Amino acid sequence: MDTIHESARETPVLREAEIAVIGGGVAGLGAAIAAARMGRDVVLVERYGHLGGQASGGLVLLWDDMDDGSEITVGGLPAEILERLQAEGGAVLPPDDDVHRRDEASWWAWAPWGLIDWRAGGAQPWPVMHAASVEAEALKSLGAFMVCEAGVELWLHRWVVGTLTGGECVTGVLLESKAGRGALRAQVTVDATGDGDVFAAAGAEHVVGKMPLTLVHRLGGVDVDAALRFQRAEPDRYRAQNRQAMDLLGTTYDRWWLRTSRPGVVWCNCPSFPPADGMDPRVLTRVEVELRECIAQSLPFLRAEMPGFGEAYLLETAPQVGVRQTRLLRGETVVTRADWEAGRRFEDSIGRSRRLHIPYGALVPRDVDGLLVAGRCYSATPEAQAVTREIAPCLVMGQATGVAAALAIEQGVEPRGVEIARLQAALRSQGVVL
């Protein structure tokens, strides 16, 4: 590859903070709020113009992995956020009396929202689970409100392009924006970028995985009640036509559309692109172009053949491509698929998802100080990350890193030196389920 020589430059230091959280997805949201609530000076940096990451810009509206089939496993900030969203009509959750029920009435009440436990196995109906359908715009608004409410300084429309280091310690990040280049210094940095941009720039050990990429979309003009009546009254015909729709949309999940809190609007977690490098702009360009064309080609069939979809139209495609897996940290602990399958309990657990007890060591780089990692780029094998990277677990990790960063500054130690018992006690006091 041909190269050019760039001249050296003087980069202004824009701010010195106690804690810099890079990435405003749910992991970064949790980290920033948790650290600020503990009285620390926090700056939250996000490349887009909104918070929530895949849960908002990626239109990943279904929050699951908060229930192991017998009890709720996620509390803390995820529970608080869902409660606040539900109070303002921004989230739909099954009532407690319906959770874990396994009967036809419960199935038809909650399966159209996706709030059923497909991992339970066996014949349908599967049991209802503690999960939520979240309105993306409501999450954007609430996320910004909670960040400001906690006293976080919010920097949108800035993109990390490098790290500041002293020896093997991260001391901040380099940022780009329309206003130019600048530096943000921090005593502790949290990498919540999803792609591990900060730890990769700092030289932390990691691997790169690949999973399918998705361009989530929503359709408007759908008569949801008519669609559900058809599904229930003519199951054989529905399955045959639904299979054709699945083939057109490139999805293997038969519940490819789910209802939302918006009348006449359904959520479609498709179409998907084969496993590829979600950091390659050439791949991302193909995803944007080819999958939009796929959606357009499916609409005539849906209108003509699927009852309830006769007036359907494309309301929106997600502004962020659904990237599931890219860089994965190699931290002090590497979570494996066997750990998840066995429900392994780690002594340094900082929260739970479904089966997994998330170890603090999976959020700490082996070879870099001054840095914590939260979200889908946490330390796990690709096989384990594939089943533990849902929205709620990422938020759980974020809350833990925010608390840990605050304690590291309070105790005058590196993040890896935080006293685990004290960290766990602080998380329990915030309602986190350990």
Beta bridge partners of 156: 46
273, 294, 317 — which closes off a domain?
317
At residue 122 the predicted structure's pLDDT band, cuts being 50, 70 and 90, is: confident
Same domain, 29 and 159: yes
Same domain, 337 and 313: no
SS3 content of the chain, % helix, strand, coil (to 5): 35, 25, 40
Q: Are 113 and 259 within 8 A, CB to CB?
A: yes
Same domain, 257 and 391: no
Q: Summarize pLDDT for 132-152 with one digit per residue, the tens.
A: 999 999 999 999 999 999 999
Residue 117: what residue type? D
CA 179/CA 184 separation, integer angstroms: 14
Give 365's DSSP letter. Answer: B
Place of tokens 């997805």: 25
317, 334, 369 — which closes off a domain?
317
Whether 191 has a pLDDT exceeding 90, the answer reads yes
287, 317, 347 — which closes off a domain?
317
Same domain, 228 and 201: no
At residue 82 the predicted structure's pLDDT band, cuts being 50, 70 and 90, is: very high
Same domain, 183 and 220: no
At residue 363 the predicted structure's pLDDT band, cuts being 50, 70 and 90, is: very high
Same domain, 199 and 229: no
Gyration radius of the chain over CA positions = 22
112-121, long-range: CB < 8 A, 24+ apart = 112/224, 112/228, 112/258, 112/259, 113/258, 113/259, 114/62, 114/64, 114/255, 114/258, 115/62, 115/64, 117/67, 117/69, 119/69, 119/354, 120/69
Q: Summarize pLDDT for 376-425 with one digit per residue, the tens.
A: 999 999 999 999 999 999 999 999 999 999 999 999 999 999 999 999 99
What pairing do the DSSP bridges indicate for beta strands 180-191 and 257-259? unpaired
Query: What are the backbone angles phi and psi of residue 349, rounded to the nearest 5°?
Result: -60, 135
Q: Are 163 and 170 within 8 A, CB to CB?
A: yes
Averaged pLDDT of the chain: 96
Same domain, 421 and 363: yes
CA 409/CA 19 separation, integer angstroms: 9
Same domain, 346 and 205: yes
Q: Which domain holds residue 224?
A: 212-317
Same domain, 291 and 219: yes
Cβ count within 10 A of residue 67 = 23
